[in-house]
Amino acid sequence: MKRTGYLFLLFLIFTPAAFSQDCSEFYQNGMDLLKKRTTSSLNEAIKKFETAKRCYNIINDADGVKKCDTGIAECYMVLNASKSGLSVSKEDVNFSPTGGSETISVAVTGNVNWSISSFNGWYTAAKDGDQITIKAEANEKPVARSQAFTIKYGSKEVVVKVSQEADAEKLSLSGNDIYFPANFIWDKVITVTTNVDWTFTGVPEWCNVVKADNFLILSPSTNEEPADRKATISISAGSKKEELRISQENDYISVEPPLYQAFEQKKGSRVFVVKFAHDQVIPLDISNSHSDWCKVSISKDDNRKIIVECLANKDYSSREDTIHIKKRSQDIAIPIFQNKTNSSGWKIKR
């Protein structure tokens, strides 16, 4: 029982909570000695901070280790200032691409005020008591940057270098797949988000593409071909690449039945059905060769149907006409042939 009690007592002594209390006591002793600012107190404070640091390491307290390092650095800074007249806790300050804020301490001997040189740019450095607060903006460029400012104390000067890591190259599009109807009269705009210069290649003949700042403006021509069309535009920014896939439906029309039709000599009519790609019904322009015996019109019930009406042919010679069905630049010509008098039957002109 005595052995068990002894082990239990050791367990209580060496628990993390007990270690944490001891670490804090060593650290606080160091801070109290640092405030005295004498050579002996500063050397003793360094020892206390080092003991506290070892203690924090045992219990894996990273914040505790960090504040001990800060205390040690400040002790050495004050000791150096007593020799040179001016010392800072850090002469190199580095920021990540996201920016942030960091504070450095300044120690001087005597009563002369110290000052810092100003810099108006991606960071600011402001004096605050015996400290300098440095704030850096986010670096959105894939290029590292650095600058420096000077701390002056009488004839003494210390240069503090401020640097910031480069951001990673970035490239994204507001859309990667663009669809155009056959007759799209407006532009479509793609936003290109990047932090480096960018270029594009692979523009098809049927689409006009213009770069304007961080935008890509696309203007396709009307697709009157019998098939849809597609293209891929490649966008490059540094080592990054994106693909912009564009497609456009066709606006082709066809007519049924076969185009070369003949009428018999008596009065009659024929219906031609216009087929649109993608079930579109687009206004058509229809006409004939201005003959008075052949009339062409669009059905009132279905504007995809073209009605051709021929008067009776009372002449002893056959006659011909041509009907035109137009949709923009597409023109379908339908030859009309009518037999002469005393001829009979429907015939196909060959």
| Model pLDDT for residues 254-278, shown as the tens digit of each residue | 888 766 678 888 898 888 888 877 6
> 90-168 with 253-338: one CATH topology?
yes
Task: For residue 259, give the 3-state DSSP assignment.
Answer: coil
Q: What is the pTM of this model?
A: 0.52
Domain 90-168 has CATH 2.60.40.10: yes
Domain segments of the chain as ranges: 12-84, 90-168, 171-248, 253-338
Q: How far is CA 53 from CA 41, 46, 74, 146, in A?
A: 18, 10, 15, 32
- In tens, the pLDDT along 87-108 reads 888 889 999 999 999 999 888 8
Query: 253-338 in CATH: which number?
Result: 2.60.40.10
Q: For all residues of the chain together, what is the average pLDDT? A: 84
Instruction: Using the structure block, give the residue that is written with the tokens 């923009």.
Output: 328
Alpha-carbon distance of 248 to 227, in angstroms, equals: 9
Structure tokens given for 38: 């004498």
The Cα–Cα gap between 10 and 232 comes to 73
CB 339 within 8 A of CB 313: yes
**Which of the two residues, 346 and 57, has the higher pLDDT score?**
57
Fold of the CATH domain 171-248: Immunoglobulin-like (2.60.40)
> What element of type H or E holds 285?
strand 285-287
Alpha-helical regions (H) of the chain: 2-13, 16-36, 39-58, 62-84
Q: How far apart are CA 50 and CA 144, in angstroms?
A: 35
Reference 30, options 44, 18, 13, 17; nearest CA is: 44
Indicate whether 225 pLDDT > 90.
no
**pLDDT higher than 80, residue 183:** no
